[in-house]
Amino acid sequence: MKVYLNPITIGIMVSFLIIYLAFIPTLVHQYRNYGTLKLRSNIVIASFIIYMITAWFMTILPLPSMEEVRAMKPIQPNIRPFLFAATFLKSSGFVLTRPGTWFAAMGSSSFFTVAFNIVLTIPFGVYLRKYFRLRLPWVAVSGLFLSLFYEMTQYTGLFGIYPKAYRFADVDDLMVNTLGAVIGYFFAGCLDSLLPDPSKDDRKATEEAGLMRRALFLLVDSVAINLLFELSRVGIYWNVRHRDWDTAIFLAAEAVVFLLVPLVTRRRQTVGMFFLNLYLIDKEGQYARTSRAMLHNCFAGLWLHTVFTITGVVKGCSLLYILFQMLFFIWLFALLIRSLLQRRLCYFWESWFNTYLKSFIKNSGFKSPVPEAESFEKPS
């Protein structure tokens, strides 16, 4: 069993790493195009990634060293169909007319290997029917090609990485893997009501920018700020011995993202607001004035982002840390009190500047407050 647990563990860890790297881009895409999080769809996609990577790792792990493979005798693939049946009858002690041998035979390695290869592709058949809407013949063909991919991986020594095959390629695996996919197809019909249904991701998109969307646009801005910060440090500190300008460089990077970028864009958007289709409007439904947009960004973006990230980016400036943290706790206390009184999240500072964060969603029917041909600024 340990020979299977290690590949499963490594496969899950690698899958989580891929999911982690794709997490922010996926959220940005969904909020930008649909204005909401597709929770069931994300669960299905994440589970499919975990399954496919883990299943593949179980066919190639553990990886031997190059020296071990070179010292191995050449492994000849099995091209004789149903060899597994002869091996099972020979090694397991199974006798059809003696029921007492049946249970013992099920514990033999020959039976366990075949059973494992069937179970390996059962989830594949479930996914293909439930989420890809494939019919039985296409599920069988897809299961065959998936199994062929596994066997070619083994036969070619991980596609030429190793000088020769280090695992046994078997034509019988093509049959039992295909059988597993077909079994999965029928299982999908039985499990249909228990599996998540992406079509039920029917949360309504709203024009109001919610907490999750606000946090996400600040997160995207944070990535842009840190990237600009690191690139600036490389340029400024080139061949310079004393590196004590981190605080100034970091604050300058924040000013670029929260002030300079909105100043030169038509809709006064930061990088994160652009990717998530967010913009600032006033009470009349027009784009906010430049001065008010800058004040809003300074309050809701620049210092709020600084209090969370500056302690992990720059060194020193204890007084600056204390100042930002005090401002943050005052803001948080006011947010909680106002939200409790109104029984909803209350972004009270928006009324101060007459700037309200709204969303433009491609597939929702919401429209921009001002036609593209009109000027950004309202007449005085």
Q: What is the distance between the terminal CA atoms of the chain, rounded to a whole angstrom?
A: 76
**Residue 339: is its pLDDT beyond 90?**
no
Per-residue pLDDT tens for 131-145? Answer: 999 999 999 999 999
| Same domain, residue pair 196 and 273 | no
Whole-number Cα distances in Å, 359 to 157, 202, 268, 347: 51, 18, 14, 15
Is residue 156 one of the residues assigned to a domain? yes
Choose from 64-73, 126-135, 288-297, 360-369 the range with maximum mean pLDDT: 126-135
| Same domain, residue pair 156 and 250 | no
**Residue 264: is its pLDDT beyond 80?**
yes
Last residue of a domain, one of 181, 200, 219: 200
**Residue 321: is its pLDDT beyond 90?**
no
Cβ–Cβ under 8 Å, residues 258 and 298 = yes
Is residue 375 one of the residues assigned to a domain? no
Per-residue confidence at 374, pLDDT binned at 50, 70, 90?
Answer: very low
d(CA 307, CA 339): 22
**pLDDT at 241 (0 to 100):** 55
* 207 phi-psi bin (left φ>0, alpha ψ -120 to 50, beta other): alpha
Q: What is the mean pLDDT of residues 99-119?
A: 77
Per-residue confidence at 127, pLDDT binned at 50, 70, 90?
Answer: very high
Q: What is the DSSP string of 272-335?
A: HHHHTTEEEE-TTSSBPPHHHHHHHHIIIIIHHHHHHHHHHH----HHHHHHHHHHHHHHHHHH
| Same domain, residue pair 175 and 217 | no
**pLDDT at 372 (0 to 100):** 40
Q: What is the mean pLDDT of residues 310-332?
A: 68
**pLDDT at 248 (0 to 100):** 80
Per-residue pLDDT tens for 57-86? Answer: 988 888 888 999 998 888 888 888 888 777
Instruction: Give the count of domains, the chain.
Output: 2
pTM of the model: 0.74
**Residue 20: is its pLDDT beyond 70?**
yes
Domain with 355, as residue range(s), is: 211-359
**Residue 331: is its pLDDT beyond 60?**
yes
| Same domain, residue pair 328 and 275 | yes
| Same domain, residue pair 176 and 273 | no
268 by Cβ neighbours in 10 Å (0-12 / 13-18 / 19+) ranks as buried
More confidently predicted of 376 and 150: 150
Is residue 27 one of the residues assigned to a domain? yes
Q: What is the mean pLDDT of residues 175-183?
A: 94
| Same domain, residue pair 52 and 176 | yes
**pLDDT at 378 (0 to 100):** 41
Is residue 283 one of the residues assigned to a domain? yes
Q: What does the angle CA 228 – CA 376 – CA 268 come to, to the nearest 5 degrees? A: 20
Is residue 60 one of the residues assigned to a domain? yes
| Same domain, residue pair 327 and 196 | no
Choose from 85-89, 229-233, 359-363 the range with maximum mean pLDDT: 229-233
| Same domain, residue pair 107 and 127 | yes
Collapsing DSSP states into helix, strand and coil, what is residue 62? Answer: coil
Q: Compute the chain's Rg from CA coordinates.
A: 30
Is residue 377 one of the residues assigned to a domain? no
| Same domain, residue pair 93 and 25 | yes
Per-residue confidence at 176, pLDDT binned at 50, 70, 90?
Answer: very high
| Same domain, residue pair 106 and 240 | no
Is residue 205 one of the residues assigned to a domain? no
Q: What is the DSSP string of 92-124?
A: S---TT-THHHHHHHTSHHHHHHHHHHHHHHHH
Contacts of 297 (CB under 8 A, 6+ apart): 258, 259, 262, 270
Last residue of a domain, one of 158, 176, 200: 200
**pLDDT at 183 (0 to 100):** 95
Per-residue confidence at 304, pLDDT binned at 50, 70, 90?
Answer: low
Mean residue pLDDT of the chain comes to: 81
**Residue 347: is its pLDDT beyond 90?**
no
| Same domain, residue pair 251 and 162 | no
Is residue 370 one of the residues assigned to a domain? no
**Residue 148: is its pLDDT beyond 60?**
yes
| Same domain, residue pair 186 and 242 | no
Per-residue confidence at 379, pLDDT binned at 50, 70, 90?
Answer: very low
**pLDDT at 318 (0 to 100):** 66
Question: What is the residue type of 340?
Answer: L
d(CA 333, CA 339): 10
**Residue 216: is its pLDDT beyond 50?**
yes
d(CA 129, CA 59): 24
- Quickly count: other Cβ atoms within 10 Å of residue 130's Cβ: 21
